[in-house]
Amino acid sequence: MKITKICCIGAGYVGGPTMAVIAKKNPNIEVTIVDINEERIAAWNDKDVSKLPIYEPGLAEIVEETRGKNLFFSTAIDEAIAAAEMIFISVNTPTKTYGKGKGMAADLKYVELCARNIAEVAKTDKIVVEKSTLPVRTAQAIKSILHNTGNGVNFSILSNPEFLAEGTAIQDLLNPDRVLIGGESEDAIESLANIYGSWVPQDRILRTNVWSSELSKLTANAFLAQRISSINAISELCEHTEANVNEVAKAIGMDSRIGPKFLNASIGFGGSCFQKDILNLVYIARSYGLNAVADYWEQVILLNDHQKRRFSDNLISTLYNTVSGKKIAMLGWAFKKDTNDTRESAAIYVADHLLNEQANIAVYDPKVTSKKVQADLNYLNTRTAEENNTLVKSYNDPYETSKDAHAIAIMTEWDEFKTYDWQKIYDNMKKPAFIFDGRNILDKTEMESIGFEYSSIGK
Ligand code: NAD
Ligand code: UGA
């Protein structure tokens, strides 16, 4: 099928950047991104591209270049579905917070709503592309909804999971290691392969059956997260043996079978996907009665929880076993650098733990608003919004944030943290002044020569 119009349902961290790049590389295809969230669509349409709802290096430039030409953001979902030959489902698939599978399974209600919406509106044949990360066999459910509630038109379903990482989304999209397309209909697969083919070499476009494609996405995330939990497990052993986790990571990473990437020890992985996808994998394994498989992958999550808890426990015990009434400065709130996304960020859990010990928390993050910090803490439901508002303050610069603080906790690896006047920060803190470097980004010798009591992960 020749594709002239694409509709993408879901204008989030995946839908927005992915469609912007597809539009840039396919000027003859009209791409419309739709969402039920009016505020988000309005922000995507803001004339001032620094106000886009998502921060990603390079994204604003591409949106500026394509928006209003062949890239459109809209809340008119039905119109966009009706007009398009190809529809991407790029909505969120969070962990269920209710009912069967609560806390483990992926909540597919948004995906199902999309399928029903497409079935209702479609009057011509459509290719429906699963872009969201979905449990293996979801295509079966989508197919059943489309065929049983549709208007008799033909639907082809493809799985085309996204592998971009936030913070590097545009680079990852422009130069992907691979693009994965799973499907039954060769014609549909080739229609999508042609779109990617305008910038991705054919040998990097992998075609598989739909189930392999769905399962590969969960597997890729599980393997990546497993590397972080593996190095984080070793980081704790390093702290007890005077081994240095950076040196260990370098030594093992030079084995080409292991490779150097994704071996940075940290306060633990965050983000909207690793935890959710592994929990989902565990849930799927259990639902097939595969308990050994489920236990194996669950350990990746348990170790990650342990790493976050260990960081805050260490901070509290180092501060003479009490942080009550003490100001703790947190530098970084996003789950990694170069993004404004805070979903499942380790900072939220570390802050919550310190708040349980009655600490006062000061936060500075270059891209995260005070409103977001409060919303993240309120979502945990540990204390009232009023209490969070009193105990946690956000600042616009690191010097104010750390003034009179007893300790600094580095939560995100923002590059700018390395460029600060650390002497000035030290001078304005309570003594002894502690730094807990959850990202191993500062130089221990330099910090100690200023006078800081410095500790980091795995050293
Ligand atoms: P997101 O929450 O940023 O965006 C999802 C958007 O979908 C929201 O704006 C929401 O309003 C909209 N939406 C929900 N239901 C809708 C409906 N019925 N009609 C119209 N719009 C609707 O989520 P995201 O981070 O973009 O993730 C989307 C999917 O992609 C998830 O399955 C995720 O696992 C997967 N994924 C995410 C990343 C990532 O780095 N964030 C990477 C790869 C894959
Ligand atoms: C991850 C995957 O890397 C993407 O390939 C995938 O598409 C995406 O999940 C998804 O499915 O959503 P993302 O979560 O955006 O991407 O970011 P990552 O770079 O993977 O970082 C995840 C977390 O792990 C961050 O908190 C990061 O700081 C942490 N991390 C990463 C480490 O602690 N150490 C490392 O060596 C690497």
Beta strand spans in 318-424 (E): 327-331, 360-364, 392-394, 407-410
Ligand 2 centroid from CA 162, angstroms: 13
The token duo for 213 is 């494609």
- pLDDT, average across residues 82-96: 98
pLDDT band at 150 (very low <50, low <70, confident <90, very high): confident
Pocket test for ligand 2, best of 228, 258, 342 (most atoms within 8 A of CB): 228
Say which CATH architecture domain 5-208 belongs to.
3-Layer(aba) Sandwich (3.40)
Ligand 1 centroid from CA 12, angstroms: 5
Question: 302-456 in CATH: which number?
Answer: 3.40.50.720
CATH 3.40.50.720 domain position(s) in the chain:
5-208, 302-456
pLDDT at residue number 301: 98
Does ligand 2 lie within 6 Å of residue 336's CB atom? yes
Q: Answer yes or no: is pLDDT of 1 > 90.
A: no
Q: Answer yes or no: is pLDDT of 405 > 90.
A: yes
Give the DSSP per-residue string, 304-343.
HHHHHHHHHHHHHHHTTT--TT-EEEEE--SSSTT----T
**CA-wise closest residue to 105 among 146, 129, 130, 136:** 136
DSSP 261: T
Does ligand 2 lie within 6 Å of residue 411's CB atom? no
Ligand 2 centroid from CA 2, angstroms: 35
- pLDDT, average across residues 439-446: 97
241-271: pLDDT as tens digits: 999 999 999 999 999 999 999 999 999 999 9
First to last CA, the chain: 57
pLDDT at residue number 420: 98
Are the C-beta atoms of residues 152 and 119 closer than 8 Å to each other? no
**CA-wise closest residue to 349 among 331, 376, 325, 372:** 376
The 10 Å Cβ neighbour count of residue 95 is: 19
Q: Is the dihedral of CA 4, 9, 11, 15 positive or negative?
A: negative
Atom 31, ligand 2: residue with shortest CA distance: 262
Are the C-beta atoms of residues 130 and 214 closer than 8 Å to each other? yes
**Rounded-to-integer distance, Cα 45 and Cα 173, Å:** 22
The token duo for 89 is 């489902």
Does ligand 1 lie within 6 Å of residue 37's CB atom? yes
Does ligand 2 lie within 6 Å of residue 304's CB atom? no
- The whole-chain average pLDDT of the chain stands at 97
The residue from 7, 8, 238, 273 that is catalytic is 273
Topology adopted by domain 218-298? N-(1-d-carboxylethyl)-l-norvaline Dehydrogenase; domain 2 (1.10.1040)
The 10 Å Cβ neighbour count of residue 193 is: 19
Q: What angle do CA 91, 92, 96 make, to 5 degrees?
A: 140
Does ligand 1 lie within 6 Å of residue 220's CB atom? no
- Note the pTM of the prediction, 2 decimals: 0.97
Does ligand 1 lie within 6 Å of residue 13's CB atom? yes
287-331: pLDDT as tens digits: 999 999 999 999 999 999 999 999 999 999 999 999 999 999 999
Are the C-beta atoms of residues 459 and 244 closer than 8 Å to each other? yes
368-401: pLDDT as tens digits: 999 999 999 999 999 999 999 999 999 999 999 9
CATH 1.10.1040.10 domain position(s) in the chain:
218-298
273 is a catalytic site residue: yes
Q: Answer yes or no: is pLDDT of 97 > 90.
A: yes
pLDDT at residue number 427: 98
Q: Answer yes or no: is pLDDT of 217 > 90.
A: yes
Please give the number of the atom of ligand 2 that sits closest to the Cα of 162. Answer: 7
- pLDDT, average across residues 69-87: 98
